[in-house]
Structure 1
Amino acid sequence: MSSIRPHHDPSCWGCGDNEHGLHLPQPVVEGATEYEAYFSFDERHQGGPGIAHGGLVAGALDEAVGLLATWYAFPSVTARIFVRYRHPVAINTELLLRAWLDEASGRRLHVNASISDGAEVFAECKAALLHVPLEHFLATPEGRAAADRLRNAAGNDAG
């Protein structure tokens, strides 16, 4: 495994600088098979009073499996995800988000994840992700603009 520069979109809701996002740290070792991060939901992520919205809980799990898969086989996207909610997830509480590679076969990766307080699991998922060509992200004007920014930054780093 080697250390690499992060290669993900800076406006990502899960790991980017998005003002409404979770600001999860990105993995730093390509080929890693486990990911852990501490984070918390806040009032912006609330569903019921004091409880994180279930869709955002699923989104955090998806981000964890996606981060791990992308750093294992860049780039990767979620093909399917199954979420099991065990207990309500409180806002303004430190949470442990974990993901681990279960299996890799060809282009398909099977990754599991959980959200816990370190002891009790509140939600978990099993996901299948696909390693895709980089062109997958060039289908939108925003994707093409991001690619141009990365190319320009790489050109500036080389000089």
Structure 2
Amino acid sequence: MTSRRSSLDASAAHAGGFFLDDTPTEEVDRREAVLESLAGTVRDLVDAAIRTTVEDEEVLRVRDDLAALVARLRASQLPGPAGVRFNADRRSWNWGNAVVGAANGIAPPLRVVHGPDGCHADVRLGAAYEGPPGLVHGGVSAMLLDHIMGETASGRRRTAFTGTLTMRYRRGTPLGPLRLEARVVREEGRKIFVDGSISDAGGVTVEAEGIFIQPAGTPEFPRT
């Protein structure tokens, strides 16, 4: 246990939250699967907490049980955010990300598929992402589009950061299965212009236009 933890926490070099890590890819894959299973259970817990109708006494008992579990996880943890890590095999991992993080129970999570014409992702949003009754919170829509559009702009090579993001909410986005899409429209120097959308079975519910910027001197970081 000690050797695994020290390997995962060690960083040979870092730049702005991007860490070069010496953990072997096989170990990263194994650990990621474990954390994904934990995060999935946390999502189930959040949904259950929102929709439960059990008696107050039972809620308080569950609260106490959860406090004990949290203490067990905090017995060994990173000193701060997880950041983005990558190893010599060009395997990268971003476990704390609020949209795609394998270890993040807040993340839906989004599974972004890169294609020749852009990116897309299919996701199901439940009670934890509700804004207006039965509809996805507008801020959640913006967060998801910001992420998939940023990944599209970065093109799996060099990180691009959001400069501007303009949202157009065409109608309410219902909770349930949704598709996100994004594509690069054009590039001007370090500026990358991206269009994105969210759709349900009835068509587009949200549209977005963004300008993403690759800072001067930004190194290339692998994405997997």
TM value normalised by structure 1: 0.72
Report the number of matched residues. 131
Deviation, structure 1 residue 8: 5.6
Q: Which residue of 2 aligns with 1:14?
A: 99
Q: Which residue of 1 aligns with 2:47?
A: none
Name the aligned partner's letter for residue 153 of structure 2. Answer: A
Answer yes or no: is 1:60 the counterpart of 2:144.
yes
Q: Which residue of 2 aligns with 1:153?
A: none
Deviation string for 1:32-83 (max 9, x for gaps)? 5400110122111111211111111111111110111122551111000000
Deviation string for 1:97-142 (max 9, x for gaps)? 000000012110000000002551000100000012448xxxxxxx
Answer yes or no: is 1:75 the counterpart of 2:156.
no
Superposed counterparts of 1:133-148, under 5 Å: 133-134=217-218
Tell me, in whole angstroms, the C-alpha distance in 2 between the residues paired with 1:67 and 1:113: 11
Partner SS for 1:50:
coil
Q: 1:11 to 1:121 in 2, by over 3 A?
A: same
Tell me, in whole angstroms, the C-alpha distance in 1 between the residues paired with 2:90 and 2:120: 18
Q: 1:130 to 1:55 in 2, by over 3 A?
A: same
Say if 2:110 and 2:121, in contact at 8 Å, map to a contact too. Answer: yes
Name the aligned partner's letter for residue 115 of structure 1. Answer: I
Q: Which residue of 2 aligns with 1:37?
A: 121
Q: Which residue of 2 aligns with 1:97?
A: 180
Tell me, in whole angstroms, the C-alpha distance in 2 between the residues paired with 1:118 and 1:67: 24
Tell me, in whole angstroms, the C-alpha distance in 1 between the residues paired with 2:130 and 2:117: 31
Name the aligned partner's letter for residue 103 of structure 1. Answer: R
Structure having the higher Rg = 2
Deviation, structure 1 residue 7: 4.0
Q: 1:113 to 1:6 in 2, by over 3 A?
A: farther
Name the aligned partner's letter for residue 52 of structure 1. Answer: V
Say if 1:6 and 1:27, in contact at 8 Å, map to a contact too. Answer: no
Say if 1:27 and 1:67, in contact at 8 Å, map to a contact too. Answer: no
Tell me, in whole angstroms, the C-alpha distance in 1 between the residues paired with 2:214 and 2:129: 30
Q: What runs of 5+ residues in structure 2 fail to find an aligned partner?
A: 1-88
Tell me, in whole angstroms, the C-alpha distance in 2 between the residues paired with 1:118 and 1:5: 37
Partner SS for 1:94:
strand
Q: Which residue of 2 aligns with 1:86?
A: 170
Answer yes or no: is 1:112 the counterpart of 2:195.
yes
TM value normalised by structure 2: 0.53
Say if 1:73 and 1:131, in contact at 8 Å, map to a contact too. Answer: no
Which has the larger helix fraction?
Answer: 2
Q: 1:71 to 1:5 in 2, by over 3 A?
A: farther
- Root mean square deviation of aligned Cα: 2.5
Indicate the percent of aligned positions where both proteins have the same amino acid. 25
Tell me, in whole angstroms, the C-alpha distance in 2 between the residues paired with 1:73 and 1:127: 19
Partner SS for 1:51:
coil
